[in-house]
Structure formats: C-alpha cells, structure tokens
Structure 1
Amino acid sequence: MHSSINKAALGAGVSVAALALATGVAAQDGATPVSTVDEIIVTGQPIVGSQRAALLRQREADNVVSVIAADTVGQFPDQNAAAALSRLPAVAVQRDQGQERYLQIRGAPNRWTSVSIDGINIVGVDEGGNQRAFRFDAVPAVILSALEVNKTLTPDMSAESIVARVDLQTYSPFDRRGIDLQGDLGRGEMNLGGGDQEQYSLRASWSGDTFGVFAAISRYRRDQITDNRETVYDAAGAPTALDYRQYFVFRETAGAMAGMEWRPAEGHRLFVKALETEFTDNEERNQYVIQVGSGVGTRTAAAGDLVGVPVRGTANDGYYGNLNRIATLGGDHTAGDWDLAWRVNYSEVQNTTDLPIVLSQQLSSSQRFAVRYDRSNSLFPILDIATQTPGATPGSFVRGTPIQTFSPASFGLNLLLPLSSRTDSEGWVYKLDGARDAELFGRPVELRLGFEYDDRSVEGSILSSAAPVVALTQLLPLVGRSFNYADYLTTERWDTGFPSGFGFTYVDNKKMRQDIDAGLAALAGAGRYNAALNISPADRYTIDERLTSAYGSASFDAFGGRMVAGLRVERMEQAIDGFLRVGTTVTPLSVDSDDLDLFPSLNARWDLNEDTVLRAALVTGIARPGYGAVRTGASVSDVSRTIAGGNPTLEPEKTWGGDVSLERYLPGAGVVSAGAFVRLVDNVLYDAVSTVTSDIYDAPGIDRTGYIYTSTQNGDSGHLYGLELSWQQQFVFLPGLWSGFGVQANVALLDGEFDTRAGQTADFPGTSKTVTNLSVYYEKYGLSARLSHQWRDDWLDSLGGLGSGEYRAGYESLDLSLRYALTDSLTLFVDGNNLTDETYVAFEGDPSRPSEVEQIGTRWMAGVRFNF
C-alpha cells in the first residue's frame, strides 16, 4: 500500500537525533556517565532512577536490546505488559476495543515475536485458536520487575523469533532488602457510557542475608461501552450492508504471584516462583444489520433510497478468557571453574471463546423496511428508516411511517448460533546452562554451553462456524415458555457518540442468555442437543511437540571490540492429530514431522569510549506455524473437489539478517541511538487458495491430488527492513527547576513485503511504515508529570488471526500521568488515557471504503500508591 519510507518522518527523526546528540555532548562536562554508575538509587526520582538502571543493563548487554524497568512502567498509565512495552522503540500494539493485546515489533506480524518469562519460553494461542500469538493483555504490568525486547538473539535464547524476543522478568525478594510493602489503589471512569475503572495491587516481600520470600496480587477491571459501525461493499463500492453495533464490555485482568529464594552460600542460589494471570472479557452485543443490498430502488456509494430492505438483529452475552499458570524451580551455582544455571518450568495456557449468538430476522417481505441512507461522511452513514406499505402494483411497496426508534419485536425468525472454541496448552521445560572462562586458540574466551528440552501438548480448536443452528421457537418451550424477542427489549436507548439518524434500544442480553442456557440444558436432557457438536471435527486438533535444543557460544575480544559467536541446534518433533470430514463421515488423520535446524549468530559490541557503544549483529531465526494453521483437520467435498482446513505440510518461516546501532549515553539517565536492521524471510505464511499436491488427503480408491485447497500456504521470500531513532534524557544540566524536565522520544521507519507462490507482492500484516513515541515529563520537588503521545500509520490487519485483507487506519494515542509524593512512602496519582478520544478505523483497500469504525472514549483514574 505504501511504496517507500516516509521521507519527512525520516528527516524529522534524523534532526531530533542530531539535536539530542549535540545536547548530550554539550552537557558531558563533569557528568557521570551511565557506564560507571555503581549504585542505582531510585527513591525520590523514580523516572530517572529506573531509567538509569535500565540503561546500565542495556549498555552492558551483548546484543541489541531495549530495556524498561518496572519503576518506569509505574510512571505511565499502563495496565498491562503490552501497553508498557509500546513505549519502546519500534514497538507497536494491536488493540481490541481500545485495549492493548498483541505486539507488532519492527512492523512485523505478531507471530514473529516470541515471549519468555524469566528466560523460559512461553507459547501463546490467539483467540481464534490459529496462531502462536502471546496475549499480553493477560499479564498485568505491576507483577514485573523489568521488560526486555531482545532485537538480536544470542545462542542461549530460543531461536523461535524473527524480529524480537520479549522477556518479562518477574520480581525477586532480594531486589529490596528487609521488609518491603508496595501497592496502589485506584478508581476512575470510562467517558463513553460512564462505566467504572478500577485497579489495585499489593506486593509484600522480606529478605534477610540468605533467605527471602514475596507475594503479589493485582487486579484491573473496566466496564465500558464500545461504539462500532461496519460496512460491507459490492464491487462498485456501494454498500450492501450497514452494520450498527454496540457492546457492553466488562474486562478484568487479575494476577497472583509468590516465590521464595535461598542463598545458602556464596555462589549458590535456589528459588521457586509461581505465577497465575487471567484475562476475562464478558461482552453483551447489540447489533443490527441493515441489508440494503437486498432492497429495491436506488443504491450508490454516496446515497440510497430503497424499499424491501431486510434487517437482521443479533444479540449475545459472550465470554472470552485467557489463563496462564507458570511455575519455575531453579538454581544458580558456582562449581569449580563453571557457573551453572538450571531451570525446571511448568506452564499451562487456556484460551476460551463462548459466543451463543441469537439471530433475529423477518419471516416475510411485508415486514421489511424502507431505507434512505446518506454517506456524505463515509465513517458515519445517516439513515432514515420507515415502515413500508403495499404499492399500486401487486408485490410492490412504498415508503410508510418514519421510525425514530428501531425495534425488532415483530421479527418471527429467531435462531441460535452457538460459536465456540477452546485451546489448552500444557508444557514442561528443562534447561541447563554453563559458563566458564577458558582459552581458545591462545585467546581468552568465555565459553557458554547449554541444553534445553521442551515437551508441550496442545488440544484445541479454531473458532468454529460449523455449529448447528437451533430454532429458539423449538428450544424454549422445553422450559415452559415461548421465545419472543420483544420480551427482552428494554426502554433504554443506546448511549452512543456516533450519529445515525435514528435510535435503538438495548436488549436484556443476560436474561436472554439465562433462558437460552436453561433451554439448551433441557434439550440436552431430552437427547436432542450435544454441545460437543458445536465445534466441527475438522476444526479440532491435538498436537504434541518435543523440542530438543543445544548451543555453544564464545565471547572474546577481537577487532577492537567484544564478540559473541555461537551456534544453536534445534530438533522439533511434532505429532498432529485431527479429523477429515467428508459429508457426515469423519475419519482420523495423523501426520508426524521431524526437523533439524541450525542457527548461527554473531553479536559484536565496540566501546568507542565510556559513553559510546557501536553494535553489529548477524542473526538467524525461525517462526513455526500456528496450531490451527498446521492442523490436519479439514472438510472435504468430493463433489466440488474442494478441501478447506489446516495444512500439516507447512514449513516454518526462517530468517537471516543483520543489525547495526550506535548508542551515546548521556547525563540525566539519557541515551541517543540510531539503528538499522534487515530481515530476509523464506516460506512466508499467508492464507490462499491453491491445489492439493500431497497424498495425505487421499482415501482408498480416491485420489484427491489437484483438489482446490483453501488453507494457509507458504509463500516465497520476503524482506523487512527499517531505521530506529531514539532519544531519552532528563535535562539535569539545566539550572534550578528547569533541570526537572526530560524527554523520551523514538521513531521507527519501516518497510517490507513478500512474494506469494503465484508471483504477487503483498504487505506483511502489521507493518506500519512509521511508528513514533514522544513523552515529555517533569520530575522535581515531589512532582512527577508525563504527557505521552504515540502514533502509527496504516497497516494490514491480522488481529488475533481473525482478520484478513483489511487495513487499519493510522491513529494516535495521548496519555497523561500525574504523580505527587506527599511523603517518601505515599504518592497520589491521576492517569488519563486516550485523551484525543480516538476513532479507530479499518478500510478495504481505500480509506473511502471504511469497513469498521470504533470508539471507546477517554478514561480517567485517580488513586494512591504506597511504599513502606
């Protein structure tokens, strides 16, 4: 969609970087550089103190990495890990109804970023059950001690990453000695609808000389209204359906963590940690689809005047959930010349979607409507709806009485579509690492050797649309009543900020859900309903994975710098079980695979002086196909010679590439940096229609080679590249109160594309050409204030693995954080999010054809933080 990197943004970014570098150089006189700081004191200056600690860690790293400390996270109005990470260079987020959920780092698809917690890989599953995408909205930021975005890998890290590996690092009781108690309480309001917002967290720890314990809990919830409008078009750009939606959304993220650590002797550490996080999303949907494409009359892209227009009403009380349980037992030991580290980790991930959707429709043409629409503003079509009366000729209709408040009470056809999916992942990781100083070819080196074994089982399904439709007129009499849509209509009109030309009233979704559940239970008791059939066998999968990894690396001085060279070897054994469905016949189908891959890497760092670091890297990596994409399950039609489903023959995406960066560390916990990267990717995954070339779908006497195949496919090669510029610093060199001002700014300029097997060129999902972050803050005299702005331009969407072929329009986000320390232990805060009250827009190929328009409103929260 875009052919080149934005030149104006590039010029502005370079100018900002140059100005920052000049400012830093001018202020170097008498300043203490980050690299020589021996003790980090955070008290009294949380922004500067935590930035200094993170930058020290970043400066001494062997690879290209961005680090944000938990104390810095606390200065932003961020409720989950995705929101906190989005403040770092080249990190963008995908939002769902305004809430951060997935990361898109360096403009890449979210599947190209792997996630670890305390160094242990955690494999996620998106809400569509299709991709290995980790949901960051399930992880509250307050349970973390630091967040790292590793943009190049070293051999001790899992190779399952193409652009980045995010490590979420949790708290240790030895982070603070003695008794420590921290927490916060906050309440606020969502501007749209006036719903509540609430958060609290509490972390308590104690550590002595050799032993420490800690426990933490957190909870964040929001009760919001989401305004949504969607439009479907024909080939000429005229609307065929105008979709009006509003959601009542109740979301909650909760976390609990506990651990203990024992240091029995110098050089020895034993620890255990357990973490549970849960994201729950209960949504009540109110939806009406004005099906103007079925009407009679005038219909253009700009306006229409029609009769005979059917309207479909949709209502549901649905649930989405994501649960993570993680436990790690580990130790670090010095044994002779070796430093050893071992870990045993258990992880469990559950992802659930339950959407019992009620569809309500007119039974006869006489119940349809007369509709006029005006799309002068393509984002907000204005409708004029009326009843219709018989016309002069038989079967014709003319416009009748205008309708001010629309009601589906007279709709006679009411159906239930019980959509659902559930995925459960359970895994064990066993890891051993060792490091020692040695001599190789007469040169002193630090050798690192390691072994890792991952054993993971996944059982689940993609979001199935093959559920049997249940007629509610037959279902609810089983519980002693009939189903009448009018019984669930309320007198409360939609609370909306979007113009429409008429109004709707809400449906009592919860009461409808209660009656439906009771009816389904009665139907199941009568042997006439089986919830297990709601998910088609072709959409189910069971996958067992065994990943065996070994690595070796050497760190040594050469060419005036520090080199880390090594090789990682990974063997993936995978057993995939599913079902083929041919009509009503279901047949098991299993496919096994065994792949061995080598991943060499080289990271180099040159300390040009005590404040300037030059880095370069050559790296390789892999992104394995998602569980739903690689499933064996498929639906087969021997009549139409078609197959639709998973693709167990998919090859993983593989990459090699390079990075180079220059970092200048400044006084005031500052750094200015410039970096460039390129990734060349083979076997790019995309959804396509092709022909079957293997024999795995054959049956006795039936050769299905050549059938039309709708599935995920491997494309040809692709390339992704970009430039990242960053500057952060508090202006401590300025006099008096002016020394409290500071800035954090970064811009990423990105581009990339890949070739399909058919020779077409396509954009990578998630690639915004420009991603910017700017925070201006003040910290002095007990006051900490920060105004933060984020912006990204248009990108191809693949939200949660459910969207395809749709672009998301660029948007901005403006947030405000205010903190005032009443004492060293007590701080008041006020947070404001989405101050620009953004309207999120998706479009089909051209912004003049918006396919979705959504708004959630501004939100505010106030409260208190304490630290004793």
Structure 2
Amino acid sequence: MFSNLTTFTFKAAALAGVSLLAVGATGALAADPAPEPAVADEDITEVVIYAPIRDSQVAALREQRNADNLVNIIASDTVGRFPDQNSAAALSRLPAVAVQRDQGQERYIQVRGAPNRWTSVSFDGVTVIGVDEGGSSRAFRFDAVPAVILQSIAVNKSLTPDLPAEAIVAQIDLKSYSPFHKNGFDLQGEFGLGEMDLGGGQQQQGSLRTTWSNGTFGVVAGVSHYRRDQVTDNREFAYDANGIISSFDMRNYLLRRQNDGASLGFEWRPAVGHVLFAKTIVSEFKDDEQRNSYTFQLGSALGGTRGATSGDLVGVPVRSTAEDGQYRTRNTINTLGGDHDFGNGWDVKWRLNETKTKNTTELPLLLQNQQFNRLLRPSLSYTLNDPKFPILTLYSTVNGATAGTYARGAAISTLNQGAFDFNIALPIMATTKSTSRTVKVDVTRAFNQWTFKGGLQHDDREIEGNVIGQSTVILPPGAGDLRAADYVTSKPWDTGFASGITLNYLDNTRIRNDMEARLKALQTAGLYNPANNIAKSDLYSIDEKLTAGYGMAKVEFNTWQVVFGARVENMKQTIRGFTNAAGVITPVEVENDYTDFFPSVNAKFDLTEKLVLRGSAQRGIARPSFGAVRAGASISDTSTPGTVTGGNPYLEPEYTWGGDASLEFYPSTDSVLSVSGFYRHVENVLYNSRTKVGDARYDSPTVDRSNYDFVSTLNGDEGKLYGLEFNYQQRFAMLPSPFDGLGFQGNVAVLDGSFDTAARKDVPFPGTSDTIVNTSIYYEKYGLSARLSYQWRDDWADTLGGLGLGSGGDEYRAAYENLDLTLRYAVNQNLTVYADASNLTDEIYMAYEGDLSHPSEVEQIGRRFMAGIRFNF
C-alpha cells in the first residue's frame, strides 16, 4: 500500500526529472534572479497585459507564503488565463486537486483524492452548502460558478478554528471582486467564439466587469456567459456472472450546456479602517440534453452463441430510449458585511448571508420496446477485437423450420429504427431546494507577539426535495400513438466510435411534445395522475440549525509562530419523510442533536528568509448527504425476506483526526519548490450497503420487519487516507534573452487510502487516484503570453458494487490525460487577442469492471477550440 507513496509512475518520474534538470541547468534554486519591480498591494490583482501569469503567480505565492495554515491559491487573472469556463476547471490546476467530469465538463473537485463530500466551500468567507440531483450529495457543484466572476480561489488544506470544521481534507474559499482593486473607472471584458470538433457545435463566451471607486465609495458589476453545443459519444456495457457481455448501449447525446453568472457589489469606507459592503452573486448552470440510445440485449436473444470476443445471435431484443431532458442548478448568494479596525489591536468582522440553491432534473423518457413481435428483432453477429467498440453485422430475423422457432435471415445494412411496437413513458424528475441564512461575527485583539481571535456563527438551513423518482406509464395503442418511424430524421449520428452500422438522430423535441400531449389525454381520461410521478416515500424535508463558536491564539516569535485553538459546533436536525408499506403511507419525523469539539494547531517556522517549514494537526467532520439521511422508505412485504429501501436518518457523521507537514522553498517572488504530506484517520466511513433492519423502527402492529433487508447508506468502520504532494513553480528570469520569458508550473500528488466495513477490508475510497499530475510550461515576453498545460490522473474506484458485501461489482474509472494550449497577444495596453485549444489529446473517458477488457462506459466529447478578444479600459 505505502509503496504507492515511494514509487512514481513513468509520467510522474519524467515530470520530476525534467523539473530537476531545469533547476540544475540554470541554478534557479541557488541564486535570485534580477530584482523584480515593486508591485503595490492595490495593483497586484489588476490585469497586467505583458506579464499576467507572472504577476498573478507573485500575488498567489505571497499570500501562500504568509498564510497561517497550509494553503494553495489561484490569484487574480490566472483564473481567466486558462481555457476554464467554470471554477472546477480552474481549481484542477492546483496541487493534489483532481476533477470529476460529466460528459467531459468539469463538475466536482476532489482534493487529495478524497470523496468530494470531504471538502467544504465558502463564498467570501461564508459557508455555502451543495445541493445535487435528488440531494444525493452535499458536494458543491462548481460547474454552476463561472470562473470569470472570481478574483481568487484559496484551497485551505489545514484548518484553523475560524474555518468551518466540515472539511476533512480541504476548505475552499471563492472570493469575488472588490471595487477597490483600482481607483477610478475600470472596464474589462472578453468575447470569444469557437467550435467543438465532434459534431461541429458552436462555443461562445463573453464577460464584462466594471468597477468604479473614489477611495470612499465603490461599485462593481459583472456578467458572464458561456455556452457550447456538444455531441457526446457514449457506449455502456453489462456482463453476466461469467464476465461475458450481456448487453451494450449505443448512445449519442446532443447537448446545449450553458453557464451564466452575474454579480453586483457596493463598498463604502466611511473612515480609515472601516469597510461596509453588500454583494449579490447569481449563477446558473443549464443543460438541455437530447438522448438517442439503442440497447442491444444480447443475453435475451432467441438463440445463437455468445462469447467473450465474438458471437452469432438470433432475435436480439433492442430497446430504444428517446429523451429531451433538462438539468438546472441555480445559486443566489446575498451578503452584507463589515470590516472594522478600531485601533489598539481591535478588529471586528461581521457577515449576514442568505444563500438559495435549487437543483432540478426533468427527464421525460420514452422507451420504445421490441418485445411483442419477435420478427422485428434483428439477428446479429459481433466481434470485440477492441472491447470498447463492438462491431456489429445485422441480419433480419425470420421464422424457423419448425413452428415457434426463429432463424437468421438476409443481411441488412443498418438497424430499422422504426421497428418498435410497444411504448412506455417514464416521467423522471427531482427537485431539491435549500435556503441557508448565516450570521457570523469575528473579533480579533492583537498586542505584542500575541493575537487572540474568537467568533460566533449560526446557520439556519431549510432543505426540501425528493430523490430522483419516476412513474411508469404504458401508452396503449390508439389515436396519437407514438410510432418510432415518425420521428427518425435524415441526419446521421456524429460519432467517432466504430460500430459497423449507422444510425440517424430522432426528433427528440417533437417526441417529448407528443408524449406530453398523450399523457395529458390519459390524465383527462383518468388513466394517468402526474401526482404519482414522485412517490411519497421519495419526498423529504430537513431543517438544520448549526451553531458554532471558536477561540484561537497566534503567538509570533522572530522566526516562528503557532496558531492554536478549538471550535465547538452544535447541530440540530429535524428530518421529515414518509414510509410506504403495502400502499400505507406513514409520516416519519426524526430529530438529531449533537455537539462536537474540534481542536487544531498550525505551526510555521521560517528556517531562512526563503525556507518555510509547516506542521499542523486537526479534527474535522463530514455530514451525510440530505438524500442519505431522509426519513422516507419504501417497504416491500412480498419478497422473502422483505426489503426496506430508503434513507437512514440515524447515520452518524464521519469524523477525522489528521496532520499535515510541508517544506516550502521560495527562491524568488514568483517561484516555489515544496513538498508536503498529510494523513487522515477517519471514523464512521459512509458507504452504500445492504444489511438487516435490526430493530422495530419499521414494524407495524401486525408485521415484524426487524429481519428485513435494509438497503441504504450505512456507517462503516475506520479508514485512512494519506499522501505526498510535490510542487514546483519557476520563471527562468536568469536565462539569456529571449529565453528569460520561459516559466514552468508543475505538481504531483501520490495518494493512498482505504476503509473497512463489516464485510470487507481495505475498500478503496471512491475518487482516489494513486497519482495526480498537473503541469504547464509558459512563455511571456514581447506582449505574448502562451501556456501549454497538461493534466493526468491514475485509475480510481468510482462506484462500489456488491452493496458493500463484495468487490465483484466495483466500478473503476480509467486513467486519462488532458492537454490544453492557451495563447494571448497584447496588441496594446487595452486590447488582447487570444486563442484556446482544449482536450488536444481527444480523450476517451472509460469506466470498467475488474479490468480494462470489461468496460462499463466509454465516452468522448472531442477537442474544443476558441478565439476572441479581451479588453480593459
């Protein structure tokens, strides 16, 4: 296990070798480059046309060097100098930060390979909670936050008591722009157009931010927009108990994804040392998705042979799925605050915040199923020379020599997309809403070498929603029947995946409109009730009242300092839901009330002017998702044994003790070489499983359900997560011109960890890659700013199968790499032209079961290109 921390992959070793060779060749770590021009604090976050990467790096490293804790920072214009449309993509540039993608677009981040629920998020210092589809996670969705509305992003990897304790591996603070970044009037913006390589869809982005201040009053306003029309190639697979392919999906998605953001802020400085402000941030992620899917159910063929690498089958059922769905995530963040320096070492900061988040999923699926007329089913042969891409040869299916038998007929060129005689409508939907109100006060008193700080915070949260639910509506034949042949278009799929056949797109929008009209008619006839789309047992509401107080002290000596203290948090939860037992709906309410103590200590030692040693220890917490702790459950008394499927309001939070240590060398203001390590011991690890109910909570007066199977999220035993991080940033100013414009940024994280359950030992944490690599080489001179960025992460467990009982169903994500190129040229002081090329390796993202010869999902979105202008006045 620990060998993963001492043995790099070839790519990680190559990175380290290149870095050290560069250092040795130039003597970069032995001598300072030429003195840098002074940069005033108020100007460090401006767009500096001729050295944007360097100046942002200076600002970030200065803040990181002076911080009380272990932190990584993206400062100022760096956020906009990558081809990153959302904050998740920008964060992935930092050490030990990996990204989770959905159809190629960055959505969640995983710091140090940990589950995303182990990271908390704040906007301008105020905690915001994540709300995902159906409340399945507390993880914050970064794809709803455009990168361009942010001034800086800080990843706090060790905690101080003034930070929320709900952060096992990291606390991320997203900081919006201040109008006082520059005196007077300032206007910055950009506009770009581009193309998606796969399908030729358009990209477009634009942003505008303006500020004005006169030293006393300031205002900042900004808007941003990004949209892309995307094709997603997708294949999904299932296997039987012998590992032989039993079905596979040929899927193709037409997407329109859009990120929009707007911000407005006012600041007033009525006197020296006093600031009052009001800020509003609104961001929204939209995903309009048309799905075209055909599932070849090889395991249900009428006859023939099915092998691991090839097969010849007669009468293979095919299921068609058509969808025109919508996903939405919207955040509205309103903050009032004040920072007050009263002199004599007294400082007070206060915040009032209301944050509203809404996530909606609306997926009206239409299944067109070939189950009745067996002569509609194709016969086929397949080969799996490449297990990712089954190659098909199709034939008709004809009656056999004897009654009731079937045989392979003549070869046909492609699938008959109109050959379906049975329709099922599946209205699938979920809505989760949260409202959080926060009051926060921090008081600081500094004198001599001591600084004392204390504060109070109260969060009042209301969450309501449902897990993703559906009803099944069989659409009987009749007037307005949805015949598949009526919706097949003449446009072939845009695909780069080999299949041996061609397919055409369906008119999914018209299918949805006609299906909804058909459901409306059934509703009028009393044959369909949309109120049943969401079962009562899927509904939940949760009230949380979190009250926290902390006290801490910092003592500073000539060359070292220690920050120590503790945080106390009390959580009161009221969880409401419904159980469904044989159609009997019963309301359920559960209350939880617990108080926790979170001590921490951070020490920093300035071994020399350029060498910093840090160490820290802390206790943290991660609370279960809203969907996991919902009180609702669906009970089946007909199976043997019976089953209870639903939430688990009695889940305990995950608790951790951990430590961090780092050694940081700053050879110049824009360079750093560091190594850090961390360890987290976790109790009550959360995982999905099947066990026995074990008590009377679901009993009725006549039925004992204590021995029923309970399918839900459970607490496991103990776990551990640990790793090493290596980071190197250097601008090679000591090289002769013109090579003194070269620079390098690179980091490598080597990780390991596992946890135990009652049935399994050494279970991998979902999301933990053994190795994560982020590197970039840049050049800035003569008005040119160019950067080539490379990311790579090793395989990782994605979904734990076997319901916690065995590893046979574990699904892994295969390693992937990402190569991006950004070019900027300053035409003059006010105008810059740019070009971005993303995903130059044209990555195929793959999930698999057991090994790469058993892929479960294969996906590709193609390269992306963008060009445009940036301006500032």
TM surpasses 0.5: yes
User: 1:767-806: CA deviations, max 9, x gaps?
Assistant: 000000110010000000111000001011159xx99831
Q: Which residue of 1 aligns with 2:534?
A: 535
Q: Which residue of 1 aligns with 2:841?
A: 836
Following superposition, the deviation at residue 33 of structure 1 comes to 11
* Correspondence for 2:852 among 847, 850, 853: 847
Distance 1:515 1:505, change over 3 A: same
638-647 or 282-291, which moves further after superposition?
A: 638-647
Do structure 1's residue 28 and structure 2's residue 32 form an aligned pair? Answer: yes
Q: Please state whether the residue corresponding to 2:136 is helix, strand or coil.
A: coil
420-429 or 729-738, which moves further after superposition?
A: 729-738
User: 1:36-63: CA deviations, max 9, x gaps?
Assistant: 9997475221010111011111111000
Counting only pairs closer than 5 Å after superposition, residues 533-682 of structure 1 correspond to structure 2 as: 533-557=532-556, 561-640=560-639, 641-667=642-668, 669-682=670-683
> Which amino acid in the other structure matches residue 327 of structure 1?
N
* Correspondence for 2:433 among 416, 424, 438: 424
Following superposition, the deviation at residue 176 of structure 1 comes to 1.7
Distance 1:17 1:754, change over 3 A: farther
Q: Distance in 1 between matches of 2:89 and 2:43?
A: 29
Following superposition, the deviation at residue 759 of structure 1 comes to 4.3
User: 1:839-859: CA deviations, max 9, x gaps?
Assistant: 111001211100111000001
Q: Distance in 1 between matches of 2:512 and 2:636?
A: 35
* Correspondence for 1:313 among 292, 304, 320: 320
Following superposition, the deviation at residue 12 of structure 1 comes to 5.1
> Which amino acid in the other structure matches residue 358 of structure 2?
Q
Q: Distance in 1 between matches of 2:823 and 2:333?
A: 34
Q: Distance in 2 between matches of 1:847 and 1:499?
A: 18
Q: Please state whether the residue corresponding to 1:761 is helix, strand or coil.
A: coil
Distance 1:30 1:361, change over 3 A: closer
Counting only pairs closer than 5 Å after superposition, residues 75-86 of structure 1 correspond to structure 2 as: 75-86=81-92
Do structure 1's residue 360 and structure 2's residue 368 form an aligned pair? Answer: yes
User: 1:575-631: CA deviations, max 9, x gaps?
Assistant: 000010112111101110001000000001111122111111001110000000111
Do structure 1's residue 347 and structure 2's residue 355 form an aligned pair? Answer: yes
Distance 1:15 1:606, change over 3 A: farther
Q: Distance in 2 between matches of 1:698 and 1:21?
A: 69
Q: Distance in 2 between matches of 1:850 and 1:862?
A: 36
Distance 1:414 1:28, change over 3 A: same
Q: Distance in 1 between matches of 2:199 and 2:770?
A: 34
* Correspondence for 2:163 among 157, 162, 168: 157
Q: Distance in 2 between matches of 1:146 and 1:271?
A: 18
Q: Please state whether the residue corresponding to 1:309 is helix, strand or coil.
A: coil
Q: Distance in 1 between matches of 2:117 and 2:413?
A: 47
TM-score by length of structure 2 reads: 0.95
Q: Which residue of 2 aligns with 1:434?
A: 443
* Correspondence for 1:409 among 392, 395, 418: 418
Does the CA-based 8 Å contact 1:668-1:731 persist in structure 2?
Answer: no
Do structure 1's residue 178 and structure 2's residue 184 form an aligned pair? Answer: yes
Following superposition, the deviation at residue 524 of structure 1 comes to 3.5
Aligned length: 856
Q: Distance in 2 between matches of 1:369 and 1:30?
A: 73
* Correspondence for 2:136 among 130, 138, 143: 130
Following superposition, the deviation at residue 667 of structure 1 comes to 2.7
Distance 1:261 1:627, change over 3 A: same
430-439 or 230-239, which moves further after superposition?
A: 430-439
Q: Distance in 2 between matches of 1:151 and 1:298?
A: 55
Q: Which residue of 2 aligns with 1:374?
A: 383
TM-score by length of structure 1 reads: 0.96
Do structure 1's residue 297 and structure 2's residue 304 form an aligned pair? Answer: yes
Q: Distance in 2 between matches of 1:329 and 1:127?
A: 29
> Which amino acid in the other structure matches residue 594 of structure 1?
D
Q: Which residue of 2 aligns with 1:686?
A: 687
Following superposition, the deviation at residue 222 of structure 1 comes to 0.4
Q: Which residue of 1 aligns with 2:498?
A: 499
* Correspondence for 2:65 among 50, 59, 63: 59
Q: Please state whether the residue corresponding to 1:736 is helix, strand or coil.
A: coil
Q: Distance in 2 between matches of 1:276 and 1:62?
A: 31
Following superposition, the deviation at residue 522 of structure 1 comes to 3.7
Q: Distance in 1 between matches of 2:601 and 2:566?
A: 9
Q: Distance in 2 between matches of 1:434 and 1:520?
A: 60
Does the CA-based 8 Å contact 2:132-2:432 persist in structure 1?
Answer: no
Distance 1:671 1:37, change over 3 A: farther
Following superposition, the deviation at residue 25 of structure 1 comes to 2.3
Q: Distance in 2 between matches of 1:311 and 1:345?
A: 52
> Which amino acid in the other structure matches residue 304 of structure 1?
G
Does the CA-based 8 Å contact 1:34-1:666 persist in structure 2?
Answer: no
Q: Distance in 1 between matches of 2:40 and 2:682?
A: 40
> Which amino acid in the other structure matches residue 431 of structure 2?
R
Q: Please state whether the residue corresponding to 2:58 is helix, strand or coil.
A: helix
> Which amino acid in the other structure matches residue 422 of structure 2?
L
* Correspondence for 2:206 among 200, 206, 229: 200
> Which amino acid in the other structure matches residue 475 of structure 2?
L
Q: Distance in 1 between matches of 2:40 and 2:223?
A: 36
Q: Distance in 2 between matches of 1:472 and 1:123?
A: 41
Q: Distance in 1 between matches of 2:654 and 2:178?
A: 36
Does the CA-based 8 Å contact 2:124-2:174 persist in structure 1?
Answer: yes
Following superposition, the deviation at residue 285 of structure 1 comes to 0.5
Does the CA-based 8 Å contact 1:17-1:672 persist in structure 2?
Answer: no
User: 1:394-441: CA deviations, max 9, x gaps?
Assistant: 2222211222231231311011011111100011000000000257xx
Following superposition, the deviation at residue 495 of structure 1 comes to 1.5
> Which amino acid in the other structure matches residue 24 of structure 1?
A
Following superposition, the deviation at residue 527 of structure 1 comes to 4.3
* Correspondence for 1:259 among 253, 265, 269: 265
Q: Distance in 2 between matches of 1:259 and 1:92?
A: 32
Runs of 4+ in structure 1 deviating by more than 6 angstroms, as ranges, are 33-39
Q: Which residue of 2 aligns with 1:736?
A: 737
Q: Distance in 2 between matches of 1:717 and 1:565?
A: 27
Percent identity of the aligned residues?
54
Q: Please state whether the residue corresponding to 1:200 is helix, strand or coil.
A: strand
Does the CA-based 8 Å contact 1:196-1:222 persist in structure 2?
Answer: yes
Following superposition, the deviation at residue 668 of structure 1 comes to 6.0
Q: Which residue of 2 aligns with 1:393?
A: 402
Does the CA-based 8 Å contact 2:482-2:515 persist in structure 1?
Answer: no
Does the CA-based 8 Å contact 1:34-1:665 persist in structure 2?
Answer: no
49-58 or 633-642, which moves further after superposition?
A: 633-642
Q: Which residue of 2 aligns with 1:825?
A: 830
Following superposition, the deviation at residue 820 of structure 1 comes to 0.4
Do structure 1's residue 794 and structure 2's residue 802 form an aligned pair? Answer: no
Question: Once superposed, what is the RMSD of the aligned Cα atoms?
Answer: 2.1
Following superposition, the deviation at residue 471 of structure 1 comes to 2.4
Following superposition, the deviation at residue 677 of structure 1 comes to 0.5
Following superposition, the deviation at residue 530 of structure 1 comes to 2.9
Q: Distance in 2 between matches of 1:857 and 1:39?
A: 39
Q: Please state whether the residue corresponding to 1:405 is helix, strand or coil.
A: coil
Q: Which residue of 2 aligns with 1:776?
A: 777
Q: Which residue of 2 aligns with 1:445?
A: 450
12-21 or 505-514, which moves further after superposition?
A: 12-21
> Which amino acid in the other structure matches residue 235 of structure 2?
R
The answer for unaligned runs of 5 or more in structure 1 is: none
User: 1:749-776: CA deviations, max 9, x gaps?
Assistant: 0000000122432100000000001100
Q: Distance in 1 between matches of 2:778 and 2:34?
A: 24
Q: Please state whether the residue corresponding to 2:605 is helix, strand or coil.
A: strand
Q: Please state whether the residue corresponding to 1:4 is helix, strand or coil.
A: helix
The answer for unaligned runs of 5 or more in structure 2 is: none
Q: Distance in 2 between matches of 1:205 and 1:54?
A: 22
Distance 1:242 1:38, change over 3 A: closer
Do structure 1's residue 270 and structure 2's residue 273 form an aligned pair? Answer: no
Q: Which residue of 1 aligns with 2:472?
A: 469
Distance 1:45 1:792, change over 3 A: same
> Which amino acid in the other structure matches residue 399 of structure 2?
P
> Which amino acid in the other structure matches residue 240 of structure 1?
S
Following superposition, the deviation at residue 557 of structure 1 comes to 2.8
